[in-house]
Structure formats: structure tokens, C-alpha cells
Amino acid sequence: MGLTVERGEIGLTVGKNEDFAEWYSQVVTKSGLADYAPVHGCIVFRELAYAVWERIMSILDSEFKKTGVRNVYFPLLIPERLLRKEAEHFKGFTVEVAWVTQGGDEPLSERLAIRPTSETIMYEMYAKWIRSWRDLPVKLNQWCNIVRWEIKSTKPFLRNTEFLWQEGHTAHATREEAFQQALEILGIYKRFVEEYLAIPVLDGVKTEWEKFAGAEATFTIEALMPDGRALQAGTSHFLGQNFSKAFEITFLDRSGSTSYVWQTSWGVSTRLIGAVVMVHGDDKGLVLPPRIAPLQVVIIPIFYSEEEKRMVVSKCREVEQRLLSRGFSAQADLREDYTPGWKYNDWELKGVPVRIEIGPRDVRENMLTVFRRDEFKRFRIPDGSLEEETGRLLEDIQRNMYEKARRMMAEKTGRAETVSELSEMVSRGMMVKACWCGSRECDEAVKSETGASIRLIPFKEEQVFSACVKCGRPASKVVYFAKSY
């Protein structure tokens, strides 16, 4: 009987630059991140993906809590009449809703939506809870599952019928405070994605026609994928008083008069895992940034005799313990039925940032062989410097991964003065900076000609360098065009 999983079966059979879509699908399933579930557009988040998600939740949750946000849990099911209360919002989501129409053996008198987002069910309660300025601000968040019935083709993590996310919902006494709240959260998102996921992002505002259904403005962070498509990595919505008016969320201010609250909502989802796969993965599989890798260091013994085995395995255990005691996440892979080579492939596929290989010569010479996943490089270090070198190496990998992603983004960002330039760049897999007059017509015309549309109006205003890329009238802004996920 052979190994459970054969060598050929575990490796990728296609390169990242050969067939990006197929490569992505193989990395996701073969690394053990996820598997396709026997349900329309759904995946199973396997151990590795869920462990990454746990890291993401833990870091973001602590950032939210530092700003006074507290967690809650609202019902999954939303009565249709609530979902209808804010007209724009309902229009935006109704085509994506999965409807519950039967409970047990009985038909329901009113359809229940599985939450596509929770504004309506939450704000119905906010109207009851908020009475005076003393109750403000309200800053609540929930980590939960979301269902959006996808009719387009689905893709693991990026577009699934069900996904996991957090959604924050705040209410404030003043417009200014709510506006600042929405921006503060976007700042948290940006720092998190750049510093932990090692993915550079642009921050800015969505166009009026791409903003969240029911919002006054949507702030976004956009990351560039290697195929030139932009990925919306997090959004924060300034809701103004749209929902507070629809749901009658009022408060008595200090002077005793009644006002509607000002609101925000914001979220990031498990699509972040998809971004990590696409940006950092390579032909050997996943590459995880050390700061979110569930396992940072794997230790693998190499031996040929029983005597060598005793010596090497004991050293592996020692190294594991030394790393664990210093707060690194480390594991010695002592499985007996797999060769070192098979284990290398397996852990490379799973994206573990650092591998330490220990053979008889290493033990005898008091050295360790270290392999860094990002650069695919092997080198030796003295055993005594293990802890220090591991810390330095993980930091260096984190920095290097961010730098590589930043360079990729810079190389794949073009600058166009005409639609034909823009089109040519988009067809070469680029995102394109261009000047724009501000009209919806021009955005839509560019989209129908090139497939790319405005992904964001950046916060950092740039000097207008040409007329509107489409209509040739004077331009008011420099914006980013790209295809999108």
C-alpha cells in the first residue's frame, strides 16, 4: 500500500503565470485551505483557512475593542418587511437573497431573508434602545455568516454563496462624528491589510453608483491582484441619516430636542484569504505572511539509521520547544510514514514561512539548516542563534513579502490619457490611473469598451494630468480604473 496522498497528487500541475484561474483553484484545494461543498456556490473552510481566519479575527477584534466597539449577535433571519424598510437598500440586495418560506412542515406567513447584511435587523433594535444622547455613541460589531445567492460564477473565498465576515454598526449624535468613525475604521483596515497580510492597498471613495445600497458614501481599500484585477478588501460606509429616518432611530439631545442619529457600517470578510492566496502564492503553492501564519516554523528530521533517528528527532523536539517558549508558532513534523521530501512539498504547499531541516551532520556540527519559503532559499545558522535568527527571519519575510507585493502593484499600475491607451494596459493585466470628468456616462462607456471601471477615487488627490480619458472635457479628478473581483 502506498502513501495516502501520492507525490504527484499533492503538487500543483500548473504555474501561476500559465493559467491563473486554474492555479488559484489548485492552490486553494491542494493546500487544504478549502474544498468545494455539495451546496450551490459554497465551500468548506478547512483547518488551514479557518486557522488563518482565526488569526484575522483575533487581530482585528482587538483593534476594534481598543476603540470601544463591543461584540453582539443578531438573528440570521430577517423578516421581509424589515428588509424593505430602506428602499435603496432593499433594491440593492433583493436579487441576492436566499428566502426561507417553510418552518418545519408549515408554510410561513412572511418570507424570511437569510441575512445578506444586517443593517435592517440591527437598526430595528437600535430604534428601541437609543433614547438620549447618553446612549450614544453605539458601537457594535458581529462576527457571523452571510448568504448572498450568487448567480454569477463563484470562486472560493472571493465569491461564495456563503461567507464569513464581521460587520460593525455605529450610531452617533453628529454627522461629523459618524464621518470620522467611518474613516477611522478604514484606517484600521488599511493598516491591518498592509501590516499583517503584507498587501498594499489604495484607499479612497467609491463612485456614487458603486457605493453600498443605502449609504451616503462608501470608503474602500482596494488591492491589486497579479492578474490586474482590483479586489475590494474592506469597505466602511457613512450611512448619513438614511437608515435612521427609515427606522425612526431618534435621540433626545442635551437641549431636549429630538434628532435622527448618524450612522456607519463596515466590514471585511473571508475574501481576504483569497487575496493572500493570489498576491503571495507561487508555483509551489501558498505563501503565508508570518504575522498571520497559523504555523510559522516547521521542523523536519532527516535520518537514515535508528541511531541517527534518535539523535535527530530529539534535536527536532528541542528546537520546537525552544521556539514555542519564545512565542513562535512551531511544530516538529515527526510523522513516520512520509519522507522528508514529501514533507517539504506538503509544507511548501501549505505556505509555512520557515522550515528547519535537521540531519545528522547538522547535529554533529551544532548547526541548523533553514529554508525560507518566500525566496525559496536554504542556508545554515549556528544552533545557538536559533531564537534570534528566527525572529529576524520572520520579520524579514514579512517585510520582503510586502515589498514584492508593492513592486508588483507599482509595475502593474499604468497611466493613460486616452481610452485606447487605457484599454491596451488593461488587456496587459494592469490597473490604470486616468483623469476623469466626474460623469457616470464616461465610467460606463470605459467599462463597456475595456471591461475596466473606476475602482476608487483616491483620498490622496493627484494633480490632473490630462483631459477626461473618455470625453475629453476638463477632468476634475485622477481615479483608478481596473477590472474587478
Residues of this chain that bind a copy of itself (CB under 8 A): 1, 3-4, 35, 37-40, 42-47, 50-51, 53-54, 70-79, 82, 94-105, 111-112, 114, 121, 124-125, 128-129, 131-132, 134-135, 140, 144-145, 147, 149, 151, 161-162, 164, 252, 256, 337
Q: How far is CA 219 from CA 232, 303, 416, in A?
A: 10, 55, 24
Q: Which is nearer to a copy of itself, 132 or 250 (CB)?
A: 132
Q: Give dist(CA 435, CA 64) in Å, integer.
A: 36
Q: Which three cell numbers stand for residue 485?
A: 473581483
Residue 73 makes CB contacts below 8 A (sequence gap 6+) with: 142, 144
Q: Which is nearer to a copy of itself, 282 or 320 (CB)?
A: 320
**Measured from the CB of residue 363, what is the shortest distance to a copy of itself in angstroms?**
28
**Measured from the CB of residue 70, what is the shortest distance to a copy of itself in angstroms?**
4
**Measured from the CB of residue 3, what is the shortest distance to a copy of itself in angstroms?**
8
Q: At what angle do helices 47-66 and 271-280 cross, to 10 degrees?
A: 110
Q: Give dist(CA 263, CA 265) in Å, integer.
A: 7
Q: Which three cell numbers stand for residue 126?
A: 437600535
Q: Which is nearer to a copy of itself, 47 or 208 (CB)?
A: 47
Please count the other Cβ atoms lying within 10 Å of the Cβ belonging to residue 304: 10
**Measured from the CB of residue 24, what is the shortest distance to a copy of itself in angstroms?**
20
**Measured from the CB of residue 455, what is the shortest distance to a copy of itself in angstroms?**
26
Kindly provide the b/e burial profile for residues 227-253, where b requires at least 16 CB atoms within 10 angstroms of the residue's own CB: ebbbbbbbbbbbbbbbbbebbebbbee
**Measured from the CB of residue 448, what is the shortest distance to a copy of itself in angstroms?**
24
Q: Give dist(CA 157, CA 50) in Å, integer.
A: 11
Please count the other Cβ atoms lying within 10 Å of the Cβ belonging to residue 127: 18
Q: Which is nearer to a copy of itself, 147 or 186 (CB)?
A: 147
**Measured from the CB of residue 123, what is the shortest distance to a copy of itself in angstroms?**
11
**Measured from the CB of residue 252, what is the shortest distance to a copy of itself in angstroms?**
7
One-letter amino acid for residue 286 of the chain: L
Q: Which is nearer to a copy of itself, 269 or 423 (CB)?
A: 269
Q: Is 112 within 8 Å of 99 (Cβ atoms)?
A: yes
Q: Which is nearer to a copy of itself, 132 or 466 (CB)?
A: 132
What is the C-alpha end-to-end distance of the chain, expressed in Å?
44
Q: Which is nearer to a copy of itself, 73 or 209 (CB)?
A: 73
Q: Which is nearer to a copy of itself, 259 or 466 (CB)?
A: 259
Q: Is 168 within 8 Å of 139 (Cβ atoms)?
A: yes
Q: Which is nearer to a copy of itself, 168 or 204 (CB)?
A: 168
- Ramachandran assignment for 122, one of left (phi > 0), alpha (psi -120 to 50 degrees), beta (any other): alpha
One-letter amino acid for residue 371 of the chain: F
Is residue 147 helix, strand or coil?
strand
In the numeric block, the cell 467609491 is attached to 206
**Measured from the CB of residue 254, what is the shortest distance to a copy of itself in angstroms?**
8
